[in-house]
Structures are given as C-alpha cells and as structure tokens.
Amino acid sequence: MTGAPPPGPGHAASGTGSPAVDAACALVADLAAQGVRDVVLAPGSRSAPLAYALAAADDAGTLRLHVRVDERSAGFLALGLSRGAAVPAASDGAAPAAPAPVAVVTTSGTAVANLHPAVLEAHHAELPLILLTADRPHELRGTGASQTTDQVGIFATAVRAAVDVPAPDGRDGEVRDLLATARRTVAAALGLRDRHPGPVQLNLAFRDPLHPSAPLAPLAPAHRSRAAGAERTPAAAGVEVVRPAPGPGADPLLPGDPARTVVVAGDGAGPAARRLAEARGWPLLAEPTSGACGGPNAVAAARSVLGAPGLVADVEHAVVLGRPTLSRPVQRLLARDGVTVTVVAPGGGPWPDAARNAARVVDGLAERWWEPTAPSDGGAFLERWRTAGRVAARCVAEAAEGAGGPAADAEPGPYAALAVARAVLTAGGPDDLLLVGASNPVRDLDLVLGIDAGPSGPPPQVLANRGLAGIDGTLSWATGVALAAARPGRRVRALVGDLTFLHDVGGLLRGPSERPVDLDVVVVNDDGGSIFATLEHGALAASGPDADLTFERVFGTPHGADLGALCAGYGVAHRLVEGVAALRAALARPAGGVRVVEVRVPRTDRWAESRELAARIARSVDAGS
C-alpha cells in the first residue's frame, strides 16, 4: 500500500495483498474522519488487520494508538480517554465538552467478553465507546474452531447498536458498505439521532490473509470537513449526521440552492414532501403510501420516468423524506455518482439509505426551505419533469385502456392488472381509504396514480404495510383499519393479489358476537406469484420450456384455488367479475359488510408487459412526446 488516502465508497483498496487489511485501513481512516482521535488495542491474531492499519495511522498522526495487554484494562483506559477529553482547563472557564468517541480493539473469543465491565460502565455513563471486535469468518462459526464463540449480541442491551460485518473478500463495493455501516454505528455511539450516547459494537469478521504483503506506509487521514451552524459528524466521502443548531438562521441542509433537485417521498413521508417540492420548485417522486401524492409537481409513473437517461442525468441533488421501499429505479438514482443525497429523518431511529450514498442526514429542514422560492433556472428543470410525467401518464393510460377500456366488459387482456388498479383507485374519493397489498398491486397502483382523478376529485388515501413489505396478515390488517377508521360516508377498499388473499384467508373469519365491519376486498387473481415474473426470474423463465417449468413450480406457484368456495365457507359474500365495467359496477354498490370481488387476469406475459411499458415510457420521455 502507498501512503495515499483510502479509496472512496464503492471501491476496494488495492496493494496490501489482503482484503482484510484493505478494509481495515479504510475503516480506520474513516473513523478518524468521524472524530475518533484515540484507539486502544489489545493484541491478538484475528484483529491483526486492524493492528496494522492502526499502527500506520499512528505513524501518520491520524490518530493516537494505545496498546495494552489486558482487554479489561484496555476497555477502562478507553473510558478514561473519552471522559478526559471532555474536561476543560480550569483557566479556560469553559463548560465541559461532550465526551469524545474512543475505539477499543480486541481479537476474538474471551477477549471480547473481557470488555463487558467497561461496556456496562459506558452504558450507564453514556460514554461513546466503539468496540471493534475481531471475529472468525462465518464458515468457521459453530465448527469448534479455536477462539470462536457467539460474539454477536454478547453485550445484550448494554450497547446502543451491535452489527455483525461479514469478512471482506475483495468484492467491489464492500468498502462502501463497511463504511456506511460504521457511520451508522458511530452516529449511534454519539447519540446524534436520539441524544442517548453510549457503547456500540462492530463485530468484524476477517478471513486469511490477515497481514499485508509488504509493510504499510503511514496511513494518511481521510478528508474532513466541518460546517458552521450545525453539530455534525463528518466522514470521508460519506454521510454527515446533522443535528440542527438552536437559534435563528440555523440551516442543516445544503449551502447554496441547487436547482436540479428532486424530492423523493417514500412511505410515510407525509404532506411535508409535497409542500417542500412546491415551495422550492422541485419535481416530486412520490410513492402511493407516501401521503404526499398529487399537486402540480408530482411526476406520474415516476419509476418508469426514471428509465429515461437523458432526464435523470441532470439530477444533482435528491432530498429524501419517508422510507422509499417500492422502486429499484429510485434506488439507482439515489446511488448514482454525482447525485448528492440529503435524508430528512426525524427521530432517533435508523435513517433510510438503502443505496448507502447519503451525504447528510438531518432531523428536519430549516424554515427557509419552506418559503416559496423561484428556481434559479426559471423552472426549466421542473418543467422537463412535469412534461415527462404527462408523457408517462399518457402511456400508462393507453396501456390500461388497451386492456379493455373503462367501459368494456371484455375478458381482461394485456395490462389487465393496470386497468383493475385504475378502476379501484378512481372508484374512491379523498375521504375514502384504499388499502393495498404488497407485490404487484402496490406497483400497479404506483403506475396509475396521477393519470386521472376520481369522481370526487383527489384519489383516496392509500395505506399499506411497507415496514417489511410482506404479504402476511393483510386481510386481518385491512379489517382492523376498516374498524378503526369507520365513519359515515367513508368507503374502505382493499386491493390485493391472490397469494396475499390466500395467505391470510383466515382473516375473513369473524365470530357472530364481533363488531360488524364494512370492507370491500378486490382480489386480482392471476393464479400465482406474478411479482416474480416482473423480476430477473421472469427473464430466465422466458428463455425456454424447461426454465419455464422450473419457474412455475418454485416461483409462479399456481394454486387453482376456488376463492368463491373459500369465501362461502367463511360466510363472506363473493362476486367474480369480468371486465372493468363490471368491476366498477361492483365497487359502486353501497357498503354492506365484508365482500370479496374477484377479477381474473393473465399472468403469462407479465414479464414482457412490464418491460415493454417501461421501455415505451423511457423512449417517449427522451423523445419529449
């Protein structure tokens, strides 16, 4: 290794001859960039990659290394270093500073357990102790390998965070992933999100070779920056966790005013995302469950619009509110080089950054960001996105209408699921609730949302279980929502797939003494798991008859279940409809208990349909027509 700064996120270091040492060097440089000035090392074999990196950093003056032979003593030395850094000189007359983050490094086995007394003290004293515990790689755990035990979670509730990091093997991107994990962990140690500092554990697996191929040159520090007006923990080419400073004029967001910004509203973002986009003149990419859909800046079919490279290439900055869970194209945008990502994440929980590319994380936005401001480019960037949204909406509308048309009773054809989602969406008004299942229904809804309005103007509020985005318990959950949110004139409808319905069909059971509930459940029945047909598995299935047979068995999972008979067994009304007009008629009936409306749609061409529509939208957007 030369003495050059460690590589940026996404690229592994090279030259040491050991992925373990490469990763350790990047981690040590990044910890220094986050404000770690002292590290205590108790020697060992498995922790050797960290020892080499720490010695090189100490030689460069990047941090101060302290070596002790006993882990218990090392832990308490680290506590003393943390507390001592907060004590001002008596002559200064200054108030005590916050305790400094200090790291302590051990090898695997009982060495880790010997830190426990110091960890307990750090826990109760709220001292930011960073435990870097080396471990055997996963393939050696549980095999009787020497000095190998279960180190993950060994400190139980005494740590603010405990993360098990797999052994590096030279994979492209593994350094970026390691540093993203480390930054989250250090933020937890400092209490930057919940104001509750304390010890954290990074359990670091290392695989041979554990030494560099040649002596390391002094490890230069990573770039550090500090901005006024906010309390920050900076990191090299990585995330700043920003706590807004008190007083007028504090601004935790970006300096300046980037014109080419998009607002990404994920699940639970709330109306703040729409308000921000409209105040700043930025395009709004909102998921159906964001609570921010609609308005003049909302981009219809946003995930397909993001397939237009000419449009996306101009994005310089993205502000993320809520938790984006739905779209791979959105995650690709947030991961793209050249896009600065600001995550607005109130509270003390983990911040959403699946792309591991956030530049800063803020509790909230300064007041000036809510003030109406004319974009510096005169609105040209926003207008391009608005035009793209209109083009995409037309493509989606044509596809949905081609499935039979809003007034047709013909048997559903291509894009039938889109037509169903559109019919269910437009059947409700702004006071109604639309509960949507995971997999394809929420994605179909994402495409049709915004291409037209319902009979009462804005669409219904959309709710979904996007915490883990599973299909579990959807009917039971929908029943609970309908019971809790019931009010005169409000319609509650659910849009689910057939596997989601079958997975929780027991949720239809309600005893005769239980409270009645009004809920219409629309089941899009394509006899299996069509979500997999829209992913890479669908492409493989299309490669030949043998692959298609495999796909059908382990992904498509056709069931042939009679949904009407199941509903009859539970005493629930069931109606099988054909065509969009019949579906609209069924949805227009007055509310009356739990009713299931089944619409059968084809699944065989779902993979080709999804890609054809996405490609059509991307071409049309790039062509501006």
pLDDT digits over 209-218, tens only?
Answer: 999 988 888 8
Quick one: three-class SS letters along 119-142? HHHHHHHCCCEEEEEEECCHHHCC
Query: Which pLDDT band, with edges at 50, 70 and 90, does 115 fall under?
Result: very high
Angle at 277 between CA 308 and CA 466, to 5 degrees: 75
Instruction: Please choose, from the candidates 48, 7, 53, the residue with its C-alpha nearest in 3D space to the C-alpha of residue 206.
Output: 48
Q: Percent of the chain scored above 70 by pLDDT? A: 86
The conformation of residue 406, written as its DSSP 8-state character, comes to T
Give the number of C-alpha atoms closer than 13 A to the C-alpha of residue 41, restricted to the C-beta side: 22
Confidence band, pLDDT 50/70/90 cuts, at residue 304 = very high
Contact in structure between 446 and 328 (CB atoms under 8 Å): no
Query: Is residue 94 over pLDDT 50?
Result: yes
Task: Band the pLDDT of 4: cuts 50, 70, 90.
Answer: very low
Cα–Cα distance between 117 and 73 in angstroms, integer? 10
What is the tens place of the pLDDT at every residue in 560-618? 999 999 999 999 999 999 989 999 999 999 999 999 999 999 887 777 888 899 899 99
CB atoms within 10 A of CB 86: 13
Show the 3-state SS of 40-86. EECCCCCCHHHHHHHHHHHHHCCCEEEECCCHHHHHHHHHHHHHHCC
Q: What is the pLDDT of residue 520?
A: 97
Q: What is the pLDDT of residue 237?
A: 43
pLDDT of 256 strictly over 70: no
- Residue 606: what pLDDT? 79
Q: Is 91's pLDDT higher than 50?
A: yes
Stretch 27-40: mean pLDDT: 94
What per-residue confidence (pLDDT) applies to 505?
94
Q: What distance, in Å, lies between the first and last C-alpha atoms of the chain?
A: 53
pLDDT of residue 117: 93
* Banded pLDDT at 539 (limits 50, 70, 90): low
Q: What is the mean pLDDT of residues 180-205?
A: 94
Q: Write the CB contacts of 313 (distance below 8 Å, at least 6 apart in sequence).
A: none
**In the predicted structure, residue 322 carries a pLDDT above the cut 50:** yes
pLDDT digits (tens, 9 = 90+) for 471-527: 888 999 999 999 999 999 999 999 999 999 999 999 999 999 999 999 999 999 999
Q: What's the CA gap between 551 and 166, in Å, rounded?
A: 31
Mean pLDDT of 80-90: 77
Q: Which domains can be identified in the chain, with CATH numbers?
A: 19-221 (3.40.50.970), 256-385 (3.40.50.1220), 403-623 (3.40.50.970)
Q: ∠ at Cα 86 (81, 90), nearest 5°?
A: 115
Under DSSP, is residue 617 helix (H, G, I), strand (E, B) or coil? helix
**Mean pLDDT value across the chain:** 86
Alpha-carbon distance of 579 to 600, in angstroms, equals 9
Q: How many Cβ atoms sit within 10 Å of the Cβ of residue 144? A: 7
Give the tens place of pLDDT for each residue, 389-404: 999 999 999 998 876 5
Least confident of 239-243, 359-363, 405-409: 405-409
What integer is the mean pLDDT of 277-295?
94
Tell whether the torsion through CA atoms of 603, 604, 608 and 613 is positive or negative.
negative
Q: What is the pLDDT of residues 465-484, one digit of tens each?
A: 988 888 888 999 999 999 99
Interval 264-274: pLDDT, tens: 999 999 999 99
What's the confidence (pLDDT) of residue 453?
Answer: 53
Mean pLDDT over 328-355 rounds to 90
Burial of 68 (0-12, 13-18, 19+ CB in 10 A): middle
Q: What long-range pairs does 274-279 form, CB within 8 A, spacing at least 24? A: 274/298, 275/370, 276/319, 276/321, 276/365, 276/369, 276/370, 278/372, 279/369, 279/370, 279/371, 279/372, 279/373
Are 488 and 458 a contacting pair, CB within 8 Å?
Answer: no
Residue 625 has a pLDDT of 61
**For residue 52, what pLDDT is reported?**
94
The residue-averaged pLDDT of 205-226 equals: 78
CB 29 within 8 A of CB 93: no
- What pLDDT, on the 0 to 100 scale, is given for residue 222? 63
Q: 523-553: b or e for each residue (b if 16 or more CB lie within 10 Å)?
A: bbbbbbbbbbbbeebbeebeeeeeebeebee
Position 194 confidence tier, pLDDT thresholds 50, 70, 90: confident
- Please give the pLDDT value at position 254: 55
